[in-house]
Structure 1
Amino acid sequence: MIHPNELIIDNFAGGGGASTGIEQALGRPVDIAINHDPLAIDMHKLNHPETTHYCESVWDVDPVAVCKGRPVGFAWFSPDCKHFSKAKGNKPVDKNIRGLAWVALRWAALVPVRVIMMENVEEFTSWGPLIEVSPGVFKPDPDRKGETFEAFVKTLTTGLEKDNPAWPEIKESLGDDFPYEKLVQGLGYQLDYRVLKACDYGAPTTRERCFLVARNDGEEIRWPEKTHGPKGSRYIPYRTAADIIDWSIPTRSIFDRKKPLAEKTLIRIAKGLEKYVFCDDPFIAPNGCVAMIERQFGRSSGADIDLPLATVTAGGGGKSALVTSHMIKFRGSNIGNPTDEPVRTISSGGLHIGEVRAFLIKYYGTSSATPLTDSLGAVTTKDRFGLVTVKGQQYQIVDIGMRMLEPHELFAAQGFPSDYSFSHDSSGKKLTKENQVARCGNAVCPPLAKALVEANVRPELQEIAA
């Protein structure tokens, strides 16, 4: 529990994902949130109005001055992870961003902090020294992976030897006026870390992150029991992309566009169709999602997908209609995933997750189907592209639609509550999609933060649930 006089601090607070989970777990607002980005702080203020906000660099905030003599019961840190992420590839890194994690030492050494949690990508544990490959250009030293992370752990726990090669980086980050003798002695925390998936705790995304927990109050570190899992397991079924998709939003046909889709996009769509639609059990969109069928075949009516297919009709021609759906992701060689699985990891770098819908009608064998070996770019809506067998009935694709997921769907995929404010700033000005998605992709998934805090700060909730 948080003691009456203790503070709760959210460093690198962003738009408020961690704060949301913390508040859900503790039933009280975060006391202080810190972030350098005005747009992020503005979103945080909208959703966490009782919190005191500092819109400045975490290095410019003095923990002693901020706490005003009060101890910190719980501090959360989510330092920028892009210079550890595997998505960074072999690109040069910014050593200043890569060293942001040292700010946790600053807090732990300067003010009493009882419980610390840190979130980062799983590659965080490979944190090691950098080598200068050209003037001002740095890359991780492949022969010294994990060396700096090990030093980081030692400073928080048993102490760092005086000849450790990490000292120059530590001192460059923490400056001259710092009680380094405390790091030599060790700050005395119990510490553990694990990689956890958000979907295992109720968020409909596979986002995977490394979480570090440190505490110095003598209590054990607890890891939350997973609550969700695959269908048929002893857990609650995973929440899926289908749970967060706004089916009222129509997709746009991939054909006859003023600006044709890129070849790589068409290849992704073709591979996704082959894997997720031309299969034994394609995902059928829920009742009512037939906007493009209406455009082509007049008024249509839908029915529950568990009912006989003959009850699903389109237009007056008596042709049964279905809409399949699968997800597409524009990252590397990724082709996406089924709609009845959690959404793949959402990042801050733009709109990169979409939905593909294939529109089908009952196939009676009166027209020829386009061979699947033909180029997808040559297919038109007048052709009969592909045959799909659903529950023993053959269907043919008459159109293919695609759209990118909207910000409100992405926030839902991260596990934010439905009433979370993110589309407008505090003055009422609408934010661009890019700005909305940036706050979303950078966010901690609230359900996972909630589970971690409940396990370690309110363990009685876990015991009651068990």
Structure 2
Amino acid sequence: MRAIELFAGAGGLGIGVSRAGFNPEAVIEWDDYCCDTIRENQARKLDPIVHWPLFHGDVRDFDFRSVRGDVDLVSGGPPCQPFSLGGKHRGPLDDRDMFPQAIRAVRELKPKSFIFENVKGLTRASFANYLEYIRLRLTYPELVERRAEAWEDHLARLERHHTRGKHNGLHYHIVMRTLNAADYGIPQRRERVFLVGFRADLGIKWNFPDKTHDQDALLWSQWRTGEYWERHKVAKRHRPEGGKGKARAFALKEPPRLAPWRTVRDAISDLPDPEKNPDAAAAFHNHRFQPGARSYPGHTGSPLDEPAKTLKAGDHGVPGGENMLLRPDGSVRYFTVRESARLQTFPDEFLFHGSWTETMRQLGNAVPVDLAYIVASSVKTHLDLTATPAKNKP
């Protein structure tokens, strides 16, 4: 199936989408370092990136009408700084807001479906009206703003159009949900908003994939069965006391149905410690100790035996707490690039271009590869069924 990838970044969403069976006709990214990362992995013949037709430039300069033939999927993560809790919170007033370009892509390409991802901050009360504006513009992409029309006036016009009833022309059925990556087997508590739409004429009925992993299942495996510690060969004398997590585990009446959340230890335990064993760590790509980590209130690192906190791109450099490992003895160190890539489920063969700070920015902005694959695979399954409508059941 044919796809267009917008705002590709380092490629997390795009790798997952490609693995799900979509073949990109264009992969669009303006950032020099991100493009260098993609090119470096293309030069190393890394699938599926080697086949990506990269457009290095501003999406505003891309002519979507140059894409010939039907497009099955448009995907991307419009730059999130206008809505990020760690940013300036300017929202629609921020010229970095690229949702208008995502909407233009949908209007001009008329894809069968789209997947857009953004930070949880987009759902803040202060952005509620603008989020509804985005949703309605994606629902009716051909109902464009008029010259000098304020976005609030355009929103009102879209609302009137939406409430009138039956609609002809290009429009989409959209669902939106905040997903926690940890609930899908990613070793990171990473909450992101996904907007998924299907062209209305296809008649597709879809819902987000059910979560597969669970916090209670992790606590059960740690404190009721001990399987977690035994698997990692952690002696009883070296296990933490447990605290509230242990109490919660013993309050459970029966074993949870889902798989346990994956932890930092699950993700990186087979990697040499880059601080204590730098020679062994050098055998792994991008696995180099970065000095200078320190803990302070609100920035205390990610505990080894829980999913990591959300990796952050940072505004001026990398914030310490979100990108640090908190060891059981209370000491901290920065995650290496390779460890951070593990937490974002990038393959170990994937190389990042740039300094530690720059590569951590790429990782902090990325969509976990495995989460992208899960959502995109479900979308593709339902698109496949449109070829045999009788099988397309709710």
In 2, distance between residues paired with 1:460 and 1:158? Answer: 20
Superposition pairs of residues 290-301 of structure 1, within 5 angstroms: none
Pairwise CA RMSD of aligned residues?
Answer: 3.6
Of the candidates 84, 103, 106, which is equivalent to residue 105 of structure 1?
103
Contact 1:351 1:405 in 2 (8 A): no
Which amino acid in the other structure matches residue 130 of structure 2? Answer: T
User: What is the percent sequence identity of the aligned residues?
Assistant: 25
Aligned length: 307
- Answering whether residue 16 of structure 2 is matched by residue 18 of structure 1, we say no
Structure 2: unaligned runs, 5 residues or longer:
155-166, 221-255, 278-292, 386-390
In 1, distance between residues paired with 2:136 and 2:183? Answer: 30
* Per-residue CA distance 1:252-309 (angstroms, 9 max, x = gap): 8xxxxxxxxxxxxxxxxxxxxxxxxxxxxxxxxxxx9xxxxxxxxxxxxxxxxxxxxx
Secondary structure in 1 matching 2:130: helix
TM-score, normalised by the number of residues in structure 1: 0.59
Superposition pairs of residues 332-371 of structure 1, within 5 angstroms: 333-349=298-314, 350=318, 352=320, 353-357=323-327
* Per-residue CA distance 1:43-66 (angstroms, 9 max, x = gap): 12324121101111111101012x
In 1, distance between residues paired with 2:123 and 2:180? Answer: 16
Q: Show structure 1 runs of 4+ deviating over 3 A.
A: 89-94, 158-172, 184-187, 328-332, 356-359, 459-463
Contact 2:27 2:54 in 1 (8 A): yes
Secondary structure in 2 matching 1:8: strand
Contact 1:9 1:32 in 2 (8 A): yes
In 2, distance between residues paired with 1:191 and 1:166? Answer: 28
Which amino acid in the other structure matches residue 415 of structure 1? Answer: T
In 2, distance between residues paired with 1:405 and 1:243? Answer: 14
Q: How far apart are 1:147 and its partner, in Å?
A: 2.1
Contact 1:155 1:186 in 2 (8 A): no
In 2, distance between residues paired with 1:159 and 1:250? Answer: 50
Superposition pairs of residues 373-452 of structure 1, within 5 angstroms: 401-422=331-352, 425=353, 431-452=354-375
In 2, distance between residues paired with 1:452 and 1:115? Answer: 12
> Which residue pairs with 1:383 in the alignment?
none
- Answering whether residue 273 of structure 2 is matched by residue 249 of structure 1, we say yes
> Which residue pairs with 1:63 in the alignment?
64
TM-score, normalised by the number of residues in structure 2: 0.69
Change over 3 Å in CA distance of 1:338–1:402 after alignment to 2: closer
In 1, distance between residues paired with 2:198 and 2:209? Answer: 16
> Which residue pairs with 1:220 in the alignment?
205
> Which residue pairs with 1:458 in the alignment?
381
Contact 2:24 2:52 in 1 (8 A): yes
Change over 3 Å in CA distance of 1:37–1:345 after alignment to 2: same
In 1, distance between residues paired with 2:145 and 2:28? Answer: 34
**Larger fraction in helix:** 2
Change over 3 Å in CA distance of 1:248–1:117 after alignment to 2: same
Structure 1: unaligned runs, 5 residues or longer:
128-141, 173-183, 253-287, 289-327, 360-399, 426-430
Q: How far apart are 1:91 and its partner, in Å?
A: 7.5
Deviates more, 1:234-243 or 1:451-460: 451-460
Contact 1:17 1:445 in 2 (8 A): yes
Secondary structure in 2 matching 1:119: strand
Change over 3 Å in CA distance of 1:334–1:93 after alignment to 2: farther
> Which residue pairs with 1:95 in the alignment?
94
Which amino acid in the other structure matches residue 113 of structure 2? Answer: V
> Which residue pairs with 1:34 in the alignment?
28
Contact 2:303 2:326 in 1 (8 A): no
Q: How far apart are 1:198 and its partner, in Å?
A: 0.9
In 2, distance between residues paired with 1:330 and 1:209? Answer: 26
Contact 1:192 1:212 in 2 (8 A): yes
In 2, distance between residues paired with 1:245 and 1:336? Answer: 15
In 2, distance between residues paired with 1:446 and 1:419? Answer: 13
Contact 1:251 1:357 in 2 (8 A): no
Contact 2:4 2:71 in 1 (8 A): yes
**Larger fraction in strand:** 1
Change over 3 Å in CA distance of 1:329–1:158 after alignment to 2: farther
Contact 1:214 1:221 in 2 (8 A): no
In 1, distance between residues paired with 2:15 and 2:332? Answer: 32
Contact 1:343 1:413 in 2 (8 A): yes
> Which residue pairs with 1:51 in the alignment?
52
Of the candidates 145, 168, 185, which is equivalent to residue 150 of structure 2?
168
In 1, distance between residues paired with 2:145 and 2:106? Answer: 22
Q: How far apart are 1:110 and its partner, in Å?
A: 1.3
> Which residue pairs with 1:258 in the alignment?
none
Change over 3 Å in CA distance of 1:190–1:242 after alignment to 2: same
Change over 3 Å in CA distance of 1:166–1:52 after alignment to 2: same
